[in-house]
């Protein structure tokens, strides 16, 4: 009888593995999402908790340290990156101010709310604000010292997010390099990351490259669709999508200044579902393709051509459309969800099972901080491949299982049900 029970449990597990069960599969989304709040019509944080749980997202990035959000997600198992607003950098140079901020915005929520990282400002080095640029590293150092004093440095790390515009060269990816005028500021920040073990954060938007040159940039290349790809003549590595080319350009830039082993996190990426007349490609269809295909690629757990086994840590922009964000129409339409909690479009990806939200991350602007989706055109300097062809990124769309066809899954389910019924009957 014990053997029979073990067999039953094993076969039930096999059935669930091969099924379309959204409850099983939604818990496996390998992606985070930015939770921006520049809006006056968003649901309360308490109502956001089940939305994220329904799509299996377990990593969230804020642009501030909203107490309502951090309290609402207590004991939820969701990991948080919280943010220090750009305008607060100067205050954080004062060790007492930094300690007070850590106590009030981090320590008091631990361990119920899992805070793993603090971003000190957003896209500071490309802000053209010399005062903020000069305050960035001292603020990071002061906040890290506060963590050490409170014994939290092993639980929480200190970092900052950058626009891809910090690169002076991004093509070919193997020639990636930082802007010369920013090197005096970037180099000590990279040394800080090495010393403290914190990741290097970059906001990367292939959308901006397409928006800037829609006639020259291949839409398939930026949307992870089938295309002929590009080959980096220096490294002989082939690229099938622009995001990976941008990431590898960052790896090259880091290596060029002696920090090639730093972990890189994509703190923002996304695609708008609506835009102005001059915003090419901002449609629900393209947003669905970009975010859906991105998730399919991440499910393979493969890295970029330059770091194929490294894996990727990506946060999609954004959780909600934010109606008060300034700028063009696209800035207010990056959300996977509308403010009423309904999907902005149907991603149709297995792990979401058509729930319409794809589990993503990286919302541009939270709480008054510089919006990530407003990154400058630095994202547009990676050129596209010439021509389109098939044969790349062919991933099964069968819900939940990338290596089985839908017919095979249904056949196995049918055989299992028939066999299991007989098995139970006879025991």
Percent of the chain beyond pLDDT 70? 74
pLDDT at 348: 61
Number of residues that make up the chain: 427
pLDDT tens digit string along 309-335? Answer: 888 999 999 999 999 999 999 999 999
**Alpha carbon 342 to its chain's center:** 21
DSSP per-residue string spanning 97-133: HHHHHHHHHTGGGTTTSEEEEEEEEES-TTS--HHHH
Annotated active-site residue in 46, 87, 268, 277? 268
Active site residue 279: no
The rounded distance, in Å, linking the Cα atoms of 265 and 199 is 6
Active site residue 322: no
**Alpha carbon 226 to its chain's center:** 22
pLDDT exceeds 70 at position 378? no
pLDDT exceeds 80 at position 120? yes
Residue 408 neighbours by CB under 8 Å, 6+ apart: none
Average pLDDT for 101-126: 97
Taking phi first (over 0 means left), then psi (-120 to 50 degrees means alpha), and beta for anything else, what does residue 111 get? alpha
Q: Give the single-character DSSP code of 224.
A: T
Annotated active-site residue in 123, 240, 279, 322? 123
Buried b (16+ CB within 10 A) or exposed e, 69-95: bbebbeebebbbbbbbbbebbebbbee
pLDDT exceeds 70 at position 352? no
Q: How confident is the model at residue 87 (pLDDT cuts 50, 70, 90)?
A: very high
pTM, rounded to two decimals: 0.79
The rounded distance, in Å, linking the Cα atoms of 156 and 198 is 9
Q: Give which of 259, 122, 89 is closest to 191, Cα–Cα.
A: 259
Q: How far apart are the first and last CA of the chain?
A: 8
pLDDT tens digit string along 251-277? Answer: 999 999 999 999 999 999 999 999 999
pLDDT at 347: 76
Q: How confident is the model at residue 218 (pLDDT cuts 50, 70, 90)?
A: very high
Q: Cβ(365)–Cβ(325) under 8 Å? A: yes
Q: Cβ(204)–Cβ(379) under 8 Å? A: yes
């Amino acid at each position: 009888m014990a053997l029979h029970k073990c067999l039953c449990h094993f076969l039930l597990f096999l059935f669930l593995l091969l099924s379309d069960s959204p409850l099983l599969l939604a818990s496996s989304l390998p992606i985070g999402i930015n939770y921006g709040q520049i809006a006056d019509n968003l649901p309360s944080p308490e109502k956001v908790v089940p939305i994220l749980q329904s799509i299996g997202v377990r990593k969230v990035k804020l642009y501030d340290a909203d107490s309502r959000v951090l309290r609402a997600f207590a004991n939820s198992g969701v990991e948080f990156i919280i943010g220090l607003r750009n305008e607060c950098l100067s205050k954080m140079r004062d060790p007492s101010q930094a300690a007070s901020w850590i106590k009030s915005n981090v320590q008091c929520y631990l361990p119920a709310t899992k805070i793993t990282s603090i971003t000190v400002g957003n896209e500071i080095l490309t802000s053209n604000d010399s005062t903020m640029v000069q305050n960035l590293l001292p603020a990071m150092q002061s906040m890290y010292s506060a963590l050490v004093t409170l014994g939290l440095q092993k639980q929480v790390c200190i970092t900052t997010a950058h626009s891809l515009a910090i690169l002076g060269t991004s093509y070919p990816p193997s020639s990636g390099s930082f802007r010369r005028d920013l090197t005096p500021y970037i180099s000590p920040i990279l040394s800080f990351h090495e010393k403290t073990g914190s990741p290097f954060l970059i906001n990367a938007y292939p959308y901006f490259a397409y928006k800037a040159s829609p006639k020259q940039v291949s839409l398939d290349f930026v949307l992870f669709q089938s295309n002929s790809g590009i080959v980096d003549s220096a490294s002989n590595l082939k690229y099938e999508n622009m995001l990976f080319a941008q990431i590898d350009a960052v790896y090259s830039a880091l290596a060029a200044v002696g920090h090639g082993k730093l972990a890189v996190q994509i703190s923002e990426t996304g695609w708008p579902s609506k835009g102005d007349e001059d915003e090419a490609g901002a449609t629900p269809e393209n947003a669905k393709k970009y975010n859906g295909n991105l998730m399919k690629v991440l499910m393979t757990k493969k890295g970029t051509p330059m770091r194929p086994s490294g894996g990727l840590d990506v946060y999609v922009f954004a959780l909600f459309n934010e109606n008060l964000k300034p700028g063009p129409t696209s800035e207010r339409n990056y959300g996977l969800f509308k403010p009423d909690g309904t999907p902005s479009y149907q991603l149709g990806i297995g792990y979401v099972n058509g729930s319409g939200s794809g589990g993503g991350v990286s919302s541009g602007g939270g709480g008054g901080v510089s919006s990530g989706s407003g990154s400058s055109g630095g994202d547009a300097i990676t050129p596209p491949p010439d021509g389109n062809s098939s044969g790349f990124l062919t991933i099964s769309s069968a819900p939940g299982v990338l290596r089985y066809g839908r017919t095979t899954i249904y056949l196995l389910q049918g055989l299992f049900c028939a066999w299991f019924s007989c098995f139970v009957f006879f025991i």
